[in-house]
Structure 1
């Protein structure tokens, strides 16, 4: 993978940052996209080296997606990998049908689905010129089982999984398209809100509730993402890989879908 170029949307923090670190560790030159986390993205670019650059773009805007792709080709002359990691949610109990508005659904869908499509479209011309181009979308078990932080989030991630299949079909054989669907992921987002002690207790509770007995961390998601990008995976496309420490094995048994985190 050394010398190839990757764009990671929402790459300055959390799962995106873990993916950037792992890619850079394999010699991939990363374009770290951010919407507002400039300091984090620029610090990460300096940390990982390999020529990494931080590029601001609000990818809900199609023109910004095209500018981001252009920034990558201007800097490196190619795009080999795209990771559609940027996303958002609104927390709302699934049973509370009044908790979400139409605007909430549209707002979430714009970033979680439409922006991913726009990024694929913007990057496709350059990626078609490569010999091992690949896209990985960050979906969610929420979209596979109708659970998670809200019904709007679950619906958007379900749509992203369907988009993954559509794009895998139409972009083959030049570009492989797969998705990784995490469950709970212990990131700094939780730690900032819960504090170190609360975060540790949450991870303990999660670990006790899943077959693998661990709380999935950002690095645990980054590993399969990078594996799916690897040219050695040339025969794999249109796959949605669940990364949730086996939590999905219990869906419909010990837990109710609307209650899961």
Structure 2
């Protein structure tokens, strides 16, 4: 028998936007499968926090860059709960390479980033598609980036992967309609622990403050901000599909005119 309440699967659920999304889904009463690749302790902690909110939850290891892993994980969700209603593709990776430093980009860089950011979202969506269609209210939300629009960001391979993810979101929205809605969120800079650890506290704070100063709202996103947008698209936006929702605190607009 299918689980009595809706079920969600969150890739990259151990940290950042994925973790915040898993917790918000639990608050909305969904059972949650928390995927992780390497962050086992963090993912187990997120699953425990979800259970503390009164829902069933478990952590599940697997690389979204592997089609076989994605099919296995979808199978485990089906075996445990018999249904899947929401998929949040939050797993992501990058390499920090200056945009002008073309020679530093390697084939391995491109492959590693595309495997997770682009192919991973496809593998997981395809593996989950039959359950999402059976839900009657299936929804997919992928976490893209404003890098896809501006061509800026941590590296050219990263921006390229997110641009391709946006196009794929439109294709999947057509392919899975009318039974599954497929949307993406395009955050600007997200102030997370991972960002600070990757660049170092001092550099991360400097970049964050500069980004905030250059945005219309004088701010940057948090993981919780992005997760809240994902909740809207996944659970509330009944007639929205194929949407690429920008969430950049007005960075694309530039500073407020009359601040």
TM-score (norm 2): 0.91
- Alignment correspondent of 1:157: 162
Counterpart-to-counterpart distance in 2, 1:151 and 1:202: 18
Q: Which runs of 5+ in 2 are unaligned?
A: none
- Alignment correspondent of 1:259: none
Cα deviation for residue 56 of structure 1 reads 0.3
Cα deviation for residue 133 of structure 1 reads 0.4
Note the alpha carbon deviations across 1:38-57, whole angstroms, 9 max, x for none. 00000111112111110001
Distance verdict in 2 for CA 1:203–1:155, change over 3 Å: closer
Distance verdict in 2 for CA 1:156–1:28, change over 3 Å: same
Q: Which runs of 5+ in 1 are unaligned?
A: 252-261
Note the alpha carbon deviations across 1:52-94, whole angstroms, 9 max, x for none. 1100011211111011111111121100010111111111111
Cα deviation for residue 21 of structure 1 reads 1.1
- Alignment correspondent of 2:246: 242
- Alignment correspondent of 2:125: 120
Q: Is the CA contact (8 Å cut-off) linking 2:166 and 2:244 kept in structure 1?
A: yes
Give the stretch that moved more between structures: 98-107 or 112-121: 98-107
| Counterpart secondary structure, 1:94 | coil
1:70-219 correspondence runs (5 A):
70-193=75-198, 200-219=205-224
- Alignment correspondent of 1:21: 23
Counterpart-to-counterpart distance in 1, 2:198 and 2:176: 40
Residue 229 (structure 1) aligned with residue 234 (structure 2):
yes
Note the alpha carbon deviations across 1:198-248, whole angstroms, 9 max, x for none. 655544333222111112110010011010001x41210000001110111
| Number of residue equivalences | 249
Counterpart-to-counterpart distance in 1, 2:199 and 2:62: 29
| Counterpart secondary structure, 2:35 | strand
- Alignment correspondent of 2:70: 65
| Counterpart secondary structure, 1:8 | strand
Cα deviation for residue 130 of structure 1 reads 0.8
TM-score (norm 1): 0.91
Counterpart-to-counterpart distance in 1, 2:152 and 2:6: 36
